[in-house]
Amino acid sequence: MAGRFDHVVAVVTGGGQGIGRAIALRLASEGADLAIVDINLDSAEQVAGEVAQLGRRAQVVRADVSKRGDCERMVEQIVDGLGRLDVVFCNAGVAQAKPIFEISEKDWDLMFAVNTRGVFFTLQAAARQMLRQERFRPGGPRGKIINTASIAGRYGGGPSAPILIHYRASKAAVISITQSAAMALAPDITVNAICPGIVETDMWKTIDEQWSYAEGWEQGEAWRRRIAPIPMGRAETPDDVAGVAAFLASADSDYMTGQSLNIEGGLVMS
């Protein structure tokens, strides 16, 4: 699908690692110019270098998406540097595994500040800019926003529920924001979400360490137990997520909005 995103400017928050990096490189490989947004400038610059090696323009923006002012400044900088923004992935996120009685106010507030408030204020700032722009493709929307939720926001049961309460609640809120924003911004802007499962990233390494410690298991045991029941027989990779993300960014999804797509190897079937 080389050239599918020619002349498209895409933004990925949390683009310096994991799922965000995979999405950025997938879109760049199909022609998009990229703004890599991350709180870690070094990792963002590394990914931007990979984008440039694919022959696409790359801009790096350092931002803390939990701050509304940073989100607004981020959009201004990207428009100044790349001219517009057409597709925005609200992907920045954090995770933490803690037993219910050990979760503090600080833990709760950080989870919602990044995972939920960060998604909303990135979406808000991006949508304002998109509504001021001409459509980037005749007959298409003025822009596309894709939020990173999780299958953890889908249901309350499962083996990780007792240890990921605040994380799961924050991702359920992202699904709700996706639906409400899709209604508010239709028909000019589509808003959808991706719901990954057990993805082999540094975030899941952290979850495994914290979960295994809380249960008194050897490190790696939480990961093994979580991937064992996956019908597809393996852990998910960031590239598995990036393929579906590219579909949501493309013209093929122009008539979709308010949807949250599971990408999890069959753990959650609906």
For residue 28, tell me if it sits in a domain.
yes
Q: Which position among 155, 167, 213, 255 bears the catalytic label?
A: 167
Residue 163 lies in a domain: yes
4-13 pLDDT tens trace = 999 999 999 9
pLDDT digits (tens, 9 = 90+) for 35-86: 999 999 999 999 999 999 999 999 999 999 999 999 999 999 999 999 999 9
DSSP string, 150-212: -GGGT-S-STTGGG-HHHHHHHHHHHHHHHHHHHHHTTTEEEEEEEE-SB-SHHHHHHHHHHH
| Geometric angle at alpha carbon 246, from 50 and 137, rounded to 5° | 105
Count of structural domains within the chain = 1
> What is residue 246's predicted lDDT score, i.e. its pLDDT?
97
The reported pLDDT for the residue numbered 139 is 87
- pLDDT for 269 equals 85
pLDDT value of residue 1? 66
Ranges under pLDDT 50 in the chain: none
CATH number for 92? 3.40.50.720
Domain range enclosing 244: 9-197+237-254
Residue 255 is among the residues annotated as catalytic for this protein: no
